[in-house]
Structure 1
Amino acid sequence: MAAMAVWVLMRPAPEAPGAAGALPVPSGQVVTYLDTIQAAPGPEGLTIRFRFIAPAIARDGGTVTAEAAQEDMEWLCQNYALSRLPTTGPVPEQVVISLSDRPVEFGAPAPEATQFFEAFSVEDATCYWEAF
């Protein structure tokens, strides 16, 4: 419990939605940061989720395929999430990157939204894709 308390006190402050500005990713789409979820454990233990808005993945009118979005999520893990992981306290077992064509409340059903999720483990400052 003490280790968790230290981690909570030492973790980076959350950014406000849009604080990262527009993030160009390999597919050419522009995504914006939505939020970071740190309080919901994942199946592998401590999980940190970075959520982004990516309108170009929309089912209707979208221009980015699921395969291209997967590359974008790997890029976001490596180039955005890694530098924002806590450097003290418990080490996250997993990083989840999610893209949604619109803001969606975490954990709430949103059948009208297009959403993609990818999980990564982190080792030696590198994100490694893990199949869900």
Structure 2
Amino acid sequence: MGAQQIAVPSGLEISLYDVILDADSQVARFRFLVPAIAPEAGNKTFGDVIGDLQFVCDSVIVPALLEHGWTTGDVVLSVSDKPVDFGTYDSQVVQYFQPFRLDRDTCVWEDF
């Protein structure tokens, strides 16, 4: 899948680059690029992107999941400064993760 640019309230550059749907466990993983979280590009913190995460979940992820018949389950939204293979750690890549619970047409913020 090619990167899909998304307009967010903060104005940060955010693009979707990967989706992993696990119907058996009802977990949807949406992976985004946010170059501004890189140390050399502004070093935006989790606090700087937190408002955009809820927006992206509600306005991008929920409609996509509803289109595929998902009305419940878990969503893990991750942002990184550059692409990284799923499930791998790279000390040179900044990554933030936020879990949500899908409740019909709403993303409910969850804590780890």
Q: After the TM superposition, which parts of structure 1 deviate over 4 Å for at least 4 consecutive aligned residues?
A: 86-92
Residue of structure 1 equivalent to 2:94: 114
Are 1:17 and 2:23 an aligned pair?
no
2:22 is paired with a residue whose SS is coil
Residue of structure 2 equivalent to 1:4: none
Could you tell me how far apart the structure 1 residues matched to 2:64 and 2:86 are? 20
Q: How many positions carry a matched residue from both structures?
A: 112
TM-score (norm 2): 0.86
Where structure 1 has 5 or more consecutive residues not aligned to the other structure, the ranges are: 1-15
Q: 1:127 aligns with which of 101, 107, 111?
A: 107
Is contact 2:73-2:103 (8 Å) kept? no
User: CA offset at residue 87 of structure 1?
Assistant: 4.8
- Look at both structures and tell me which one has the larger radius of gyration over its CA atoms: 1
Are 1:37 and 2:17 an aligned pair?
no
Aligned CA-pair RMSD:
2.1
Sequence identity percentage: 34
Are 1:77 and 2:60 an aligned pair?
no
Could you tell me how far apart the structure 2 residues matched to 1:88 and 1:114 are? 30
Q: Judging by fraction of residues, say which structure has more strand.
A: 2
Where structure 2 has 5 or more consecutive residues not aligned to the other structure, the ranges are: none
